[in-house]
Amino acid sequence: VCSSDLRLAARLPSWLLRWWRMGDEDMNFGNELILDLQGCERDKFEREHLAQFFRGMCSLLEVERGPLHFWDYEPDVESRRQAPQNLAGVSAVQFISTSNITLHTLDHGGRVYLNIFSCGVFSAKEATEFCLGFFGGEVVTSVMLARR
């Protein structure tokens, strides 16, 4: 190990240092939380509220926010009202310094489908509690995956 490697290692966050020292067979390339909620507050499904959600989640995860992209019915709100139940909602992708957060809402049943994928370490419990505090509702599915 050369001295420049040691100087670099001294500045790395602890989770990254552990990752750097692993062999490929032990390597965890990230964690993904898959979270399905129902009975959520549908007024939170508008762009301004969802942008607030992403800001809060990124703060909780301690990650830098990149571009936020929406796919929805704006400005044609009437189309959203006439859309089939399985399509009426908003999709959004928040790019983050360590990967992305993807969210889909469905107006029918106040449903939220969320994926958080990050190369960093985060608490599924804290992320879930944040989502419930923001959207209300209840957890239908919660799965934490180690991506190898």
Global pTM value: 0.78
CA angle 124, 92, 41 (to 5 degrees): 70
For the stretch 36-54, pLDDT in tens is 999 999 999 999 999 999 9
Query: Which tokens go with 132?
Result: 């419930």
Q: Other CB atoms closer than 10 Å to residue 42's CB: what's the count? A: 19
For the stretch 64-73, pLDDT in tens is 999 999 988 7
For the stretch 122-139, pLDDT in tens is 999 999 999 999 999 999
Cα–Cα separations (whole angstroms), residue 95 to 58, 122, 128 = 10, 16, 19
Determine the average pLDDT of the residues in 87-115: 94
